[in-house]
Chains A and B, each alone.
Chain A
Amino acid sequence: MVSLLKTEWLKVKKYNTFWILSLLYIVSIWGLNYIVYNVQQNIYDKKKTGGVVNMIIGNPPYAFPKVWHMTAYVSSFLLFMPGLLMIISITNEYSYKTHRQNIIDGWSRTQFITAKQLLTIIIAIVSTAAVFLSALSFGFMEGSETLSFDNLEYILYFFLQTLSYTSLALLFGVVLKRSGIAIGVYFLYTVVIENVVSGLLNHYADYSGRYLPLKSVDNLIPFPVFENMTRQFLKQPNFSVQLTLSLIYLALYYYATKRKFETDDL
């Protein structure tokens, strides 16, 4: 496994596109949260609202311990980025035909695809670390409470969520092979298609839209503000069902990707 990762490292080490996008993505995690943080600061400005907001919403979402939940939720809007990195990594192999050469040179098909699946985990770990550090910095910037690790489980859910996005991206890459179409389909699916289908299902089929592949993992990190109110109006997802479904979908992505690569003509 170490040698697979070492070889994968040799492939990306000098790949500028990968590093530029990764860097921008990590900066954007902090940046997007900073935008929302600024909005929060304006709303909670005592001079304007005189503490009324505090009474309705509760403590600011970027204060400990809520900040873990809030940062994970806001950062999840950038999840198409780690998927994009993963698609670039796999479709490059197809366009350079290096997936063939790697096999010719002596990797088994299983080794090749395992190396890529390990990469989905690495990307998810790095994303999660970036979210953790951003949350920590906003918690301290807010400064309303002392450091607290309550709610830290949301960072773990964020890891699971990122892993689902990167592994689904890998599956799209392995099935579609060409970068342009894989990126287009992945982007539209994650940003538009699943949300539309989910909305329709929620409206016409008793909220079953929440059981769709990405929705099940998205729902592990619900909208972090007005929770009491939404609880009254909406039928709440069952957490353990959502978690179990997310893990089943994840296993399916891995299995389908592996099987596709192992049996295809390359």
Chain B
Amino acid sequence: MPEKVAENFTLIKFSTNTIHMQPVLSLQAISKRYGNIQALNSISFDVPEGSVFGILGPNGSGKTTMLGIILDILRADAGSFSWFGTSPSAESRKKIGALLETPNFYHYLSATDNLNITQAISGRGSTPEIESVLETVNLAQRKYSKFSTYSLGMKQRLAIAGTLLGNPNVLVFDEPTNGLDPVGIAEIRQLIKDLAKQGKTIIMASHLLDEVEKVCTHVAILKKGVLLTAGAVDEVLTNEDIVEISASDLTGLEIIIKEFNGVTNVKQDGNHLHVFFPINTANLEEINRYCFSKDITLSQLTLKRKSLESKFFELTNN
């Protein structure tokens, strides 16, 4: 099954406007199989420095497997990856603050004691800094309570605090807002935006389109282990213009609009038509004049930017 899916898609090569810069992370043809399930199928892309790179995909699409591989938790069956242009090592991981899947801490230790261990292993941060990252995630009041007494949201905050320790330049977040209440979600999104403003590179896996759309500069979309597309958000989002039109005679409109210059596709959606043009070529005045000249008066004429959501469904529903 997964192989068939793989054949149906041509991998869209990541186009970058930052070619001159060394990518923070580069994946080359990473594959991973669990028994007869192909979890990742020859995944390649680069994460440019300073980007907020969203990895988007439905549940079970291979997001966490991919992050597990780049963090040396899982072994790839084939392919390679590099951090900062060098082959991956424990030393390169020390420069990365990462949270994978769930908050992983010693249940019988407090927040402070847990972060002391993070600090001892990574060499990132210091005792006063442990205090300050706990302030950042609003956990300072409960810093002496055992991890086992925390709510899911508090555990998630502690995990984020752990990644911030020592102010690393690269952060990896797997579902960072998982388990948080709406206020917490807003806070973490703001935090990610602030970190991005400081020039940090953030790699973030999510199944929440809205989240990716709000904070990411780049996006890679995964489905059943296949990379559907990767690139800057505005490139991925708007690789075509869509014009929504309608008229009382919808059938007549469809016939004449197909002959209009530059139209690539026409789809009926309820009681209006979606007319597709190559990016930045749709001219609404021309369309209006053309239809009027063919004796059809438009009752609606709007240029729609495609939302990430519709793009996502379009890509993943095939």
Closest B residue, CB atoms, query A266: B73
A109 CB, min distance to chain B CBs, angstroms: 7
Closest B residue, CB atoms, query A7: B120
A96 CB, min distance to chain B CBs, angstroms: 6
Whether B104 pairs with A101 at a CB distance below 8 angstroms is yes
Whether B108 pairs with A15 at a CB distance below 8 angstroms is yes
Whether B73 pairs with A265 at a CB distance below 8 angstroms is yes
Q: Which of B75, B90, B109, B116 contacts A263 (CB 8 A)?
A: B75
In the assembled complex, B189 has its CB within 8 A of some CB on chain A: no
Closest B residue, CB atoms, query A115: B121
Best-buried of A17, A96, A103 by chain B (most CB within 10 Å): A96
Whether B105 pairs with A98 at a CB distance below 8 angstroms is yes
Whether A105 pairs with B122 at a CB distance below 8 angstroms is yes
If the complex has contacts A10-B113, A104-B98, A106-B123, are A97 and B104 also in contact, measured as CB distance less than 8 A?
A: yes
Closest B residue, CB atoms, query A106: B94
In the complex, what distance in Å separates the CA atom of A108 from the CA atom of B113?
21
Q: What chain B residues lie within 8 Å of A11 (beta carbons)? A: 106, 117
Q: Which of B100, B120, B122 contacts A6 (CB 8 A)?
A: B120
Q: Which of B73, B75, B104, B120 contacts A98 (CB 8 A)?
A: B104
B170 CB, min distance to chain A CBs, angstroms: 12
B69 CB, min distance to chain A CBs, angstroms: 10
Residues in A lying within 8 Å of B, measured CB to CB = 3, 6-7, 10-11, 13-17, 92, 96-98, 100-109, 111, 263-266
Q: What chain A residues lie within 8 Å of B113 (beta carbons)? A: 10, 13-14
In the assembled complex, B74 has its CB within 8 A of some CB on chain A: yes
Closest A residue, CB atoms, query B109: A14
Whether B118 pairs with A105 at a CB distance below 8 angstroms is yes
Q: What chain B residues lie within 8 Å of A98 (beta carbons)? A: 104-106
Q: Which of B93, B120, B123 contacts A104 (CB 8 A)?
A: B93
Q: What chain B residues lie within 8 Å of A264 (beta carbons)? A: 75
Whether A7 pairs with B108 at a CB distance below 8 angstroms is no
Whether A101 pairs with B105 at a CB distance below 8 angstroms is yes
Q: What chain A residues lie within 8 Å of B116 (beta carbons)? A: 10
If the complex has contacts A97-B104, A98-B105, are A265 and B75 also in contact, measured as CB distance less than 8 A?
A: yes
Whether B121 pairs with A106 at a CB distance below 8 angstroms is yes
Whether B73 pairs with A103 at a CB distance below 8 angstroms is yes
If the complex has contacts A7-B121, A15-B108, A96-B106, are A104 and B73 also in contact, measured as CB distance less than 8 A?
A: yes
In the complex, what distance in Å separates the CA atom of A105 from the CA atom of B159?
11
A239 CB, min distance to chain B CBs, angstroms: 43
Whether B117 pairs with A107 at a CB distance below 8 angstroms is no
Q: What chain A residues lie within 8 Å of B74 (beta carbons)? A: 265-266
Whether B117 pairs with A7 at a CB distance below 8 angstroms is yes
Considering the complex, which residues of chain B in the window 32-87 have a beta carbon less than 8 Å from any beta carbon of chain A? 68, 71-75
In the complex, what distance in Å separates the CA atom of A16 from the CA atom of B106?
13
If the complex has contacts A15-B108, A96-B104, are A107 and B75 also in contact, measured as CB distance less than 8 A?
A: no
Considering the complex, which residues of chain B in the window 92-150 have a beta carbon less than 8 Å from any beta carbon of chain A? 93-94, 98, 100-102, 104-109, 113, 116-118, 120-124
16 chain-A/chain-B pairs, Cβ below 8 angstroms = A7-B120, A10-B113, A11-B117, A97-B101, A98-B106, A100-B73, A101-B104, A103-B93, A104-B71, A104-B72, A105-B122, A106-B94, A106-B122, A111-B90, A265-B74, A265-B75
B123 CB, min distance to chain A CBs, angstroms: 7
In the assembled complex, B249 has its CB within 8 A of some CB on chain A: no
Q: What chain B residues lie within 8 Å of A15 (beta carbons)? A: 106, 108-109
Q: What chain B residues lie within 8 Å of A97 (beta carbons)? A: 101-102, 104
Closest A residue, CB atoms, query B67: A104
In the assembled complex, B91 has its CB within 8 A of some CB on chain A: yes
Q: What chain A residues lie within 8 Å of B124 (beta carbons)? A: 106
Whether A108 pairs with B121 at a CB distance below 8 angstroms is no
A180 CB, min distance to chain B CBs, angstroms: 16
Q: Which of B93, B105, B107 contacts A106 (CB 8 A)?
A: B93
Q: What chain B residues lie within 8 Å of A101 (beta carbons)? A: 100, 104-105, 118, 162
In the complex, what distance in Å separates the CA atom of A97 from the CA atom of B174?
15
A121 CB, min distance to chain B CBs, angstroms: 20
In the complex, what distance in Å separates the CA atom of A7 from the CA atom of B106?
13
